[in-house]
Structure 1
Amino acid sequence: MNSNSIYSVVDMETTGTDSANEDRIIQFSCYQVQNNEIINEFTTDINPNREISSRISQLTGINQQRLDSAKPFDALAGTIYKLLQGTIFVAHNVNFDYPFLNSEFQRAGYPELELEAIDTVTLSQLLLPTLTSYRLSDLSKYFNIFHKHPHSANGDAYATSKLLIVLFKQLQELPAMTLSQIVRVRPNLPLDTFEVLKRMDADNRSQPTAKPIPNYLYIANGIVLRKKELLSNSQEKVVATYPKNKRQKQKVLPDNLESRPQQNTMMNMIYNNYSEDNQSGSKNLIIEAPTGVGKSLGYSLPFAYLAEKKQVVISTATNYLQQQLQDQTIPLLNDGLPFHTSSVILKGSSHYIDLSKFKTVLYSSDSHPHNSFLKCQILVWLTMTKTGDLDELHLNVDQNGLLESINHRSTKEINSDNPFFSDDFLRFNIQNAKRANFIIVNHSYLLSNWEGFSKLNEKPYLCIDETQQFLESVRTENKQQILPGMILADFDRTSIGIRYALSAEIFSNNESLSSSKQKLVWLLSSARASVNETFSTIFKQIISRASYKKANSKLQVNVNAKNRDQYLDLLTNLKGEIAPKLKQLTKYAKRLQSEVNNNNQAMVDSDKHELKSWFQQLEKLETRLVDLLTVIDLFINHFSEQVFWITVDDITNYETLSFNCAIFETANYLKKTIYNNFEKPTFTGATIFSSKKSKFIFDNLGLQRNDVISRRLKSDFAASDKARIYMVNSFEPDSEVGTEKYYHFLSESIQRIFRNSPRQTMVLFNSLDAIRQTYHFMAEDGFTETRMVLAQGVNGTANKISRAFGQQEPAILLGTGTFWSGVDFPGDLLENLIIAQLPFDVPTDPYNSALYQRARMNKQNPFYSISLPNATLKMRQGIGRLLRTKDDIGTVFILDPRAVTKHYGSIMMANIDSNIPIESGSLDESIVNMLSFYEKH
């Protein structure tokens, strides 16, 4: 491999992926590249001497007749073999193409190729670590490479050859230090791909003078980083008058945006509420702004004018929505406003890389083979990122092991003696947030870090977008689970560590160290005994009431005012014993740490490693004990604001006990965290109200109506012209929801709807089990063999099938959970929506069960006060998936019989408030109406 090497970029279309059995090549294409130019091209169809499937024909555009007239591989093998000799083989997924081609050569009587072979997929992943997809079509789009016929060998080989040229240029622009570090880490790359990096590194080293790094980069402690600048603290103040009417707004909006009537109303409501001209003072705002209003711009523009006086915190549901505000909405504002507005995204500490930790593990050996590759991706990413936000890497769950060793744990870790103190990304983002007009956070961050905002000189404005998700976050952030078995296991690991695992020589010659060790041993033993005694007593009390005691039998006890006392004394005593011992544990651990630091020079590396691991284990135990004391404090002092329940997953096993709590009364919590530390908030979202009066939302937010201005805006989309809702009202006897007959009915109905109108279809369920059963019947009918059906929990995770659904047309997606509210498929990516089940929460869920019991004790009917409003909101969110832009059209089928046979079904449907016409009829009638609707559109 040298500067004059010829790279043979190959792509093949095949009948399948298994070359060892019956699969064969049906098209071969090769583009040859030398010195970053295409110098030769060869493409041919190949007769596989067998029938190809309709799916392969549809995918590649190659039909059977065309292949029957082509030469077989045996007749072409010599030409292809000669073409590739003396070149370097390249493919986009070389581990497929190279072995497959060699299998064909062997079958034709030729020896295997013995070429160097490199892979453009992993090179792309290494050099472009922030992309979300490395499919050839997506990379072609990203680099503006002409890719005329995806899934044809000729089109794919041409695009891959152009991609290879781009990747070589990317590699040449990589700082020499970064490339050298990658080579030293030695990532595990397919076949000979690593040799490309080695050759480039060797070329760099052979130069008489070192290659300078670009001006936008700098070197910090041996790591190449992107330069970043703090926002100006003295931005030029521009006196700007808020544009109140449509004509004035049109002047400050970008030319490609029109002022929308409902959006204009929203903007004025917000500005007028907080304006100094408002003599009566501001109130809490609740603004329901359905799709089509332009909600993000609707609140961002008035707050941009208000931000000239004090900061604005925008809280939204997800990291993705944070980024969308930063990358799309704020730039739109700056295109038209007479002044510049700045913004910063803040996330929890764990989202940011700790450069010091990364430097420490960079060259350490890894048990997981992917970690070395990830380290190299991070080295490249550090030359790009200005935020240090690890989310930019779009990593998978299986890569969390390395991330947990290189991310920040808290802001307390940022010490001035850290060699990367001045370069630290978390510190930089926090500093920038103090200077920005807009601080963009997600709900979880807001609820976990409200104290940071309380320290600002002035109360900031607060806009909470996606209000329904905010309320869910309030519940999630306040759910805690104590697992006594895990606490005891951590006690044991920590005790064993200090008693036996740590080398005796560490303590033998130091009396102070030895004394601290003995005190810690006693404290650990004593505290463990207290925890064990308390929860073993609770366990015995619970199982003594069990009617049967069979292994694996589960049990749940909801703790209420009637049975609280039997646990109160036990937990109060435990708190009295654990709290002082935890303080002492912390005290003696610090003393031990200090002694270790003083004796650091006298210790060997193995001792230092053992002590470091032990201190990490102790920190984990201390965290568990703090969580335990927090829950006990809630039980003693805030019982009325929480729900508590105890579960035992196996009544013969004490270690399966868990003690749980979650928030019930949110008013005091929100007052303490939100209302006391911000100006009166603006709450907005596409679906907030569950009914016209909607007592539900006021109760959940803990707000009084007389201190709230609320408005339900209308969509600027003419929904009545763009969609229909079909409520199926004819069902077979005994086909109640949850029965086998019902799932069979769902399967048949989905198939009939799709066969009559094969469009992008999403089916919303209420559980993974319901999806599995419905998919089973669809598979039994053979439907899944000829149609693309993507079932959550069957074909993959929500993220995986969501990506596949966006890439396959037409397809059916069977989903639950986030598909009701958290996923967007605009345009023709979603045209038919099927509601398989009304979205009621599972009443037997431990939290729901405890919550409903508490409601009953407060003289409320939990179904009508909690369950039905929640289901109505979720139903509105689900239907809202259909029309995401002004050009969208589509239909909704509701197949749950309860929507038409139960009184609560009519209540729910009456409160959908979607402006979409609702038609009732049999499935046959509904399908006819659907076809008529699409004929007109």
Structure 2
Amino acid sequence: MAKFVVVDLETTGNTPAKNDRIIEVGVVIWEDGEIVEEFSSLVYPEQDIPPFITNLTGITNEQVAHAPLFSEIAEEMYEKFSDAYIVAHNIQFDLGFLNKEFADCGLKALDNPVIDTVELARILLPQSPGFKLGQLADQLNIQHEDPHRALSDTKVTVDLLAQLFQKFSELPLLTLEQLLRMESGFKSDLRQLLNDEISRKLYSDEESDEIDIIHGLAVKRIDKKPAGEFEAASSFGDYLEHLFHSKEGLSSSVSGYEYREGQRTMAETVYDAFTSEKHALIEAETGTGKSLAYLIPAVYYALSQQKKVVISTYTTQLQRQLLEKEIPQVQLLFGKTFEIALLKGKEHYISTLRFSKELREGSRDNYDIVLSKAMLLVWLTETTTGDIDEIQLPSSGRYLWNRISTDQEEAEETWSKTNKDSFYRKARRRAEEADIIISNHSLLCTDLTLEHAFMPEFDHLIIDEAHHLETTASKYFGLHMDYGLWQSYFNQLEALYTTKNSTWSEKMQEIITEEIPFYKSLKEEVDALFRFIFHLVRSNNKKNKDHSDVGRMQFTYQQKNVKAKQLSTIKEMLARLTADVNHLGRGMDTLTDHLAAENVLTDSSNSDFVEMAAFIQKLIQMKDELNHYLLNEDEEEVKWLEIDAMGAHNAVYLYSEPVNIASRLKQSLFDVKASVILTSATLTMKHSFRYITDRLGITELNPVQKKIPSPYPFHEQVRLMVPDDFPDIKRDQDDFISATCEAIYSMAQITEGRMLVLFTSYDMLKKTYELLREIIMPEEFMLFAQGVTSGSRERLKKNFQAFDQSILLGTSSFWEGVDIPGDDLSCLMIVRLPFQPPNHPVYQARAERLKRDGKNAFMEQSLPHAVIRFKQGFGRLIRSSTDRGIVFVCDQRLVNARYGKYFIESIPEVPLEVDSTSRLMQKATEWL
């Protein structure tokens, strides 16, 4: 085995070119699976260590004051790298610093073969939730005693490398050979390692019986295990009694289970609604345990009545929680007597046929694409679903995914029988055979809009996170189109048009060549139309300046809002665009007729033709949608355009939604399903379900309504505080932001950080962040802000939890679905009550409809929406029976406005304090 020198550095910053310096080195030499030498040293950097680095590593200026200069240990270190692979977790970072320091000491740059364990982990462990050293150590059960210290990190990297090499040895021969062909595109020098492993496998004659070869790819074999027999109890009530009160029940399958009366009540309500074929709304507050409370009756009903039950969630996070946590617990209770399937849209599943083709043809891939292909090759040897949500591709990997997902499989099925065992079709078959189907609101709403059902037939449905159903349904009953969508089809069509396919006959080449001018003309027409619409929006927005919540200019599109000359131009452009699309369609018909005459229509070698046909069919559909959108008026539809004022002049977004979603949902969902259960922690306003039943169109159906309170003692756990001395935001927003920053800083000193601050606009969040950066010293609090500091919502949350004293500013998605239990969160600050922007086109259209019907738009629409959003935000603070903290609301409307009581009476009963900011801070100090 080769010699590996594993290195880790701690530094004053990220960039040696900007004079950042090394403050600690750790080196481990690893040979024949054994550590043969260790070396570590602090280094005097000849500059101060930033507070952030001291916070992260624990290394202080005092500790390095008497440490050696790097030049004093340079030669000793340099010798250790001779005739070895250099290994590091992010090799470019460590090697960049080392070579800069070595060069300053007059030594040559290291040019050894390298291995980057970040890259290797991404390739060999594609399903890892993260690839930071600490995350991988947790996942692989590697002991990590002293994170962000050089020698400790180096030892962990050695253990990681050993496990990665073991994973190498387990890969199928075919996968190794395919990785070898793309090795030149990696950062790591893996050629010799891959060759050695391929030779070993060839001579050892190893063959796995767990792998199938499909379209030239090694894919995990899926063996179906038959489900056991289910024996129903004499009644569901008897079963619940056994479940909640016997030693063999929930206490045996759920670690640390505690009986909750509300959980049993909810389970009974769900089962009764199913058996009586009624719809039901169940608000289950925090701590109810609602997932188990609906899963248990769903499984019992599905098995005892032999009827399929569908469970729909809004977030993939809840889907993962169900599949990884609650469903295994339920399987223990029922003895694995039921079949469960996860079903998503076609865009989630990989097409092995297309991926195989992509591997053969990809020659000038950038690094992200090469890495994505390598990850997918390894993932195919592990996955049983082919669902892309199992892995996180690099940023550019989504372009690859657009080419290899099964979005166009229906078109492929028309022309070719070569992909009948695709992951998507397997998922459909599993769903057909399953007792319980886990799906999502998007797929459910897509199914409601299709003539032919996408999901298997079912009559019993549970909708979790049901407060999102109206919004999701509105999007799927409407339209969303942008220039980028056209552009993606153009790019893929262009690649197909210019392909010199050796299997194409001369006649095929001739037909395709004739279509190229029309394809190019179409591209120009679409670009011109979207540019014209861009200027239309901007010219009509100079006065009113309506903006979306992400800062785009908005324009409500109605023909009466468009000047006659502008509308005439739109019609002319659409006519030319339509003519070009129709010509492409006729060309494809000619090509189809030719292939049929040659008797090669279903020949698998014509996969390029299959894709071309699918893309052109999609363009025809989009052309029809664009014509309808721009030329047809419908009172039941609200349309609006959005542009990024400073963006590209063809970056236009077209949206439409129905004004009245309630009637659509009633007709397509509630009138046709036997029983739909709607559940969430936030369905009521002031203890009434009337708002949500009206919005969903089920008030007249008299659904069962059940509100289950939280078992947590909120009156002991929470203090609600509202200052009475904040400036009026309408008079001076800057003064209000200054007061907010002072309150954040004062409260953070009391709670030692551990604060989540919720905003209703990005603009105010950013202004607050900038001001806080001026008044907060870096060594006092770590400050994270959504949309300002980099990272996803989950990454920001983890960074917030990683530091002892930190403040997190969030908006939009942070109002719900973020769990920060225990001591990590002691204060939730709500800056403004979460009312919808009154200028949003959908809000305006629905408000006008309510006014015409003689109703109060504020009380019927705006207030209930804000109250439910407020409840979601409030719910971020208390996530367990032992959590404790303060909810500080900066918006005095909570106590001064007549409608404020609706907010207060919709959350659990907690002590309310209204006082000056300074006295509230004093009370917070005393209480905490």
2:203 is aligned to 209
The alpha-carbon distance between structure 1 residues 854 and 654, as it changes in their structure 2 partners (threshold 3 A), is farther
Give the Å deviation of 1:352.
0.2
Give the Å deviation of 1:735.
4.3
| 1:879 equivalenced with 2:874 (yes/no) | yes
Mapping of residues 228-307 of structure 1, within 5 Å: 228-230=222-224, 232=226, 236-244=229-237, 247-250=241-244, 251=246, 252-255=249-252, 256=255, 257-275=257-275, 281-307=276-302
Contact 2:169–2:197, Cα closer than 8 Å, also in 1: no
Contact 1:725–1:892, Cα closer than 8 Å, also in 2: yes
Aligned with 2:382 (options 377, 381, 384): 384
Question: Take 2:101 and 2:498, find their aligned partners in 1: how far apart are those partners?
Answer: 57
Q: What do residues 529-581 of structure 1 show as CA deviations (whole Å, max 9, x unaligned)?
A: 999999999999998999999xx997845659999999999999999999999
Code of the residue aligned with 1:357 in structure 2: it is R
Give the Å deviation of 1:864.
1.9
Deviates more, 1:81-90 or 1:118-127: 81-90
The alpha-carbon distance between structure 1 residues 206 and 697, as it changes in their structure 2 partners (threshold 3 A), is closer
Q: What do residues 192-221 of structure 1 show as CA deviations (whole Å, max 9, x unaligned)?
A: x233x4333244236663542322222223
| 1:625 equivalenced with 2:623 (yes/no) | yes
Name the TM-score, length of structure 2 as normaliser: 0.86
Deviates more, 1:265-274 or 1:824-833: 824-833
Code of the residue aligned with 1:405 in structure 2: it is R
Question: Take 1:472 and 1:176, find their aligned partners in 2: how far apart are those partners?
Answer: 48
The alpha-carbon distance between structure 1 residues 640 and 231, as it changes in their structure 2 partners (threshold 3 A), is farther
Question: Take 2:654 and 2:406, find their aligned partners in 1: how far apart are those partners?
Answer: 29
Contact 1:188–1:370, Cα closer than 8 Å, also in 2: no
1:696 is aligned to 691
Q: What do residues 629-667 of structure 1 show as CA deviations (whole Å, max 9, x unaligned)?
A: 66589x66xx454334567999xx997987643122123
2:467 is aligned to 468
Question: Take 1:452 and 1:69, find their aligned partners in 2: how far apart are those partners?
Answer: 76
1:344 is aligned to 341
1:841 is aligned to 836
2:402 is aligned to 404
Question: Take 2:903 and 2:232, find their aligned partners in 1: how far apart are those partners?
Answer: 49
Mapping of residues 477-876 of structure 1, within 5 Å: 477-481=476-480, 556-557=555-556, 559=558, 586=585, 589-596=588-595, 615=613, 618-628=616-626, 631=629, 639=634, 641-645=636-640, 660-704=655-699, 707-732=702-727, 734-736=728-730, 739-783=733-777, 786-799=780-793, 800-876=795-871
Aligned with 1:360 (options 343, 357, 360): 357
Question: Take 2:806 and 2:696, find their aligned partners in 1: how far apart are those partners?
Answer: 40
Give the Å deviation of 1:126.
0.9
Contact 2:541–2:555, Cα closer than 8 Å, also in 1: no
Contact 2:769–2:785, Cα closer than 8 Å, also in 1: yes
1:163 is aligned to 160
Q: What do residues 207-261 of structure 1 show as CA deviations (whole Å, max 9, x unaligned)?
A: 66354232222222321111113464x7534233445266422233242323310
SS at match of 1:132: coil
1:278 is aligned to none
SS at match of 2:800: helix
Question: Take 2:521 and 2:729, find their aligned partners in 1: how far apart are those partners?
Answer: 59
Question: Take 2:234 and 2:571, find their aligned partners in 1: how far apart are those partners?
Answer: 59
Code of the residue aligned with 2:445 in structure 1: it is L
Mapping of residues 887-906 of structure 1, within 5 Å: 887-904=882-899, 906=900
1:89 is aligned to 86
The alpha-carbon distance between structure 1 residues 932 and 31, as it changes in their structure 2 partners (threshold 3 A), is same
Deviates more, 1:739-748 or 1:252-261: 252-261
Question: Take 2:92 and 2:643, find their aligned partners in 1: how far apart are those partners?
Answer: 48
Question: Take 1:79 and 1:537, find their aligned partners in 2: how far apart are those partners?
Answer: 66
Code of the residue aligned with 1:909 in structure 2: it is F
| 1:182 equivalenced with 2:176 (yes/no) | no
1:223 is aligned to 217
Structure 1 unaligned runs (5+)?
A: 276-280
Give the Å deviation of 1:920.
1.5
Question: Take 2:186 and 2:128, find their aligned partners in 1: how far apart are those partners?
Answer: 19
Question: Take 2:368 and 2:510, find their aligned partners in 1: how far apart are those partners?
Answer: 40
The alpha-carbon distance between structure 1 residues 610 and 779, as it changes in their structure 2 partners (threshold 3 A), is same
The alpha-carbon distance between structure 1 residues 517 and 34, as it changes in their structure 2 partners (threshold 3 A), is closer
Contact 1:487–1:621, Cα closer than 8 Å, also in 2: no
SS at match of 2:175: helix
Contact 2:267–2:297, Cα closer than 8 Å, also in 1: yes
The alpha-carbon distance between structure 1 residues 544 and 469, as it changes in their structure 2 partners (threshold 3 A), is closer
1:137 is aligned to 134
Code of the residue aligned with 1:425 in structure 2: it is F
Q: What do residues 302-351 of structure 1 show as CA deviations (whole Å, max 9, x unaligned)?
A: 11110112011000111221122122111111112256222111111000
Give the Å deviation of 1:850.
2.8
Question: Take 2:761 and 2:69, find their aligned partners in 1: how far apart are those partners?
Answer: 50
Q: What do residues 484-504 of structure 1 show as CA deviations (whole Å, max 9, x unaligned)?
A: x89999999999999x9899x
The alpha-carbon distance between structure 1 residues 482 and 860, as it changes in their structure 2 partners (threshold 3 A), is farther
Give the Å deviation of 1:752.
1.3
Code of the residue aligned with 2:231 in structure 1: it is V
Question: Take 1:55 and 1:548, find their aligned partners in 2: how far apart are those partners?
Answer: 44
Question: Take 1:531 and 1:117, find their aligned partners in 2: how far apart are those partners?
Answer: 46
Name the TM-score, length of structure 1 as normaliser: 0.86
2:548 is aligned to none
Question: Take 1:524 and 1:6, find their aligned partners in 2: how far apart are those partners?
Answer: 56
Contact 2:84–2:112, Cα closer than 8 Å, also in 1: yes
Mapping of residues 94-109 of structure 1, within 5 Å: 94-109=91-106
Question: Take 1:113 and 1:524, find their aligned partners in 2: how far apart are those partners?
Answer: 50
Give the Å deviation of 1:889.
1.9
The alpha-carbon distance between structure 1 residues 618 and 258, as it changes in their structure 2 partners (threshold 3 A), is same
Contact 1:534–1:571, Cα closer than 8 Å, also in 2: no
SS at match of 2:98: helix
Deviates more, 1:62-71 or 1:435-444: 62-71
Question: Take 1:19 and 1:569, find their aligned partners in 2: how far apart are those partners?
Answer: 59
Question: Take 2:716 and 2:679, find their aligned partners in 1: how far apart are those partners?
Answer: 26
Question: Take 1:790 and 1:24, find their aligned partners in 2: how far apart are those partners?
Answer: 25
Contact 1:852–1:862, Cα closer than 8 Å, also in 2: yes
Question: Take 2:826 and 2:348, find their aligned partners in 1: how far apart are those partners?
Answer: 36
Give the Å deviation of 1:740.
1.3
Contact 1:314–1:438, Cα closer than 8 Å, also in 2: yes
Question: Take 2:503 and 2:107, find their aligned partners in 1: how far apart are those partners?
Answer: 65
SS at match of 1:837: coil
Question: Take 2:376 and 2:484, find their aligned partners in 1: how far apart are those partners?
Answer: 34
Code of the residue aligned with 1:475 in structure 2: it is S
Code of the residue aligned with 1:480 in structure 2: it is L
Code of the residue aligned with 2:266 in structure 1: it is M
Percent identical: 26
Contact 2:828–2:887, Cα closer than 8 Å, also in 1: yes
Give the Å deviation of 1:685.
0.4
Structure 2 unaligned runs (5+)?
A: 546-550
Question: Take 2:21 and 2:364, find their aligned partners in 1: how far apart are those partners?
Answer: 39
Question: Take 2:126 and 2:476, find their aligned partners in 1: how far apart are those partners?
Answer: 31
SS at match of 1:166: helix
Give the Å deviation of 1:26.
2.5
